[in-house]
Amino acid sequence: MRIIKGAQKARSTILHRAPLDDRELPPAVQDLIRRVFGAELGPAQVVDRILCDVRENGDAAVRRYNEEIDGVSSEAAKLPLEVSPDEIRRAKSEVDQALVAALTVAAERIRAFHEQQLAHSVKSFQIGGVGQVVRPLARAGFYVPGTGAIYPSTVLMSVIPARVAGVSEVIMATPVAPNGVVAALKLVAAEIAGVDRIFRAGGVQGTAAMAYGTETIPRVDKVCGPGNIFVTLAKKKLFGEVGIDGIFGPSETLVVADAHADPALVAADLLAAAEHDELATAVLLADSAELAEAVSAAVEAGLSTLDRAAVARESLEARGGIIVVDSIAEALYLANEFAPEHLCLHVSIAAHAVQHVRNAGCVFVGEHSVESIGDYTAGPSHVMPTGGSAAYASPLGVQDFLKVMSVVRLDQQTVDKIGPPAAAIARAEGLTAHALAIESRLRREHS
């Protein structure tokens, strides 16, 4: 791994983020766009065209893009968009029961964590004539990417918080294989998580279908879930038309380690972070040049043992690195500036260090708090803010599926007390009807 020294150089190199849509598309994707749309289009233009088409043409547009973009065969594109109960039942017999048991353990821990989160979440109240009531969303939609690589953990981590929050109906849209089949593992995970309905609708068309509603796919209150650059741009454009959970980019991990850290464990965490995909970020902030060298050597040795070695190597070469800083305090300052999705603390007094962390999606405190367990069975959702949004956003949780309604219930005494100043403000703003509406409620003293 490349090793640099100093915070200033780190800011301009390893810790520098490029804008989400400032990335050149691979040649194969550019060719596909020309073939489907007959023109040279950028990602935002592609998204605009698909959104408009789905809004106007519903199911027909979804089927067409399933075929033309996702590669579904013409015959499979004619299958019902909704996955049938029989398909889900068959999927159960195709997945190894030991894996089903593992998913069940994960689901139980995720559910337990979010039940605690709900218990400590925003509550209804009524004080002095004003208050609030908390209600869950009626319907949430989840986009679940992937046909080659299947991530059942993301289904659990996304859907279970919604169910715990009390969402009445949960639907899922997902791309399918060329034969129109949804991966059995994805279907099993969806059933364990509590998904009500599943639809064959990939990419932007699936996201748009849930946002607008089609003849088959119901409109949702909130669209959730990660995706590629096209799905991410679609969510940005749809915000306001529908709620969204957040804008999620590639995975990010910062490790802060002091001279006492175990180089092998630090390297293990960096490799786990890098194997997500080529765009992932895996960075070490260390206060020891000796540790930096040892970790770099351990990473190089570990790469050869990975099934996804090529992916991890490209990630590390393009976006990874080691930054040698003067102190752990400086490392934490840089980490707060970067606001990573994951922050791993391999330091002697990790419990003390965490008190100085302000911006992170999740903090893994101490060498035993393995980020990879956080991806599966720790409990908190692994759907977390990326791209620096941890400075103002939170991990997916029950709060994303709750909304607050203010309630005003005034008696005559309160109206008499707060009405006159309200009327005075209304008249100052030139809103005479507001003032008259207030004054008509004021108690008139008997002469």
CB 371 within 8 Å of CB 344: yes
Is 346 designated active site?
A: no
User: 30-37 long-range contacts, Cβ below 8 Å, gap at least 24?
Assistant: 32/69, 35/68, 36/65, 36/68, 36/69
What's the rounded Cα separation, in Å, for the pair 152 and 110? 13
Residue with tokens 């073939």: 35
Residue 51: enclosing H or E segment and its boundaries? helix 43-57
Q: At what angle do helices 203-212 and 59-68 cross, to 10 degrees?
A: 170
Please report, as a single letter, which amino acid is at residue 168: S
Nearest CA to 136 among 169, 113, 171, 114? 169
Pick the catalytic residue: 114, 276, 342, 382? 342
Residue 47 and residue 229 in contact, taking contact as beta carbons nearer than 8 Å: no
Q: Does residue 342 carry a catalytic annotation?
A: yes
Where do the DSSP E strands lie in 333-388?
A: 342-346, 362-365
Distance between CA atoms of residues 13 and 287, nearest Å: 18
**Helical axes 289-303 vs 263-274, angle rounded to 10°:** 50
d(CA 174, CA 126): 42
Q: Which of 67, 252, 278, 341 is catalytic?
A: 341
SS3 421: helix
Catalytic residues: 341-342
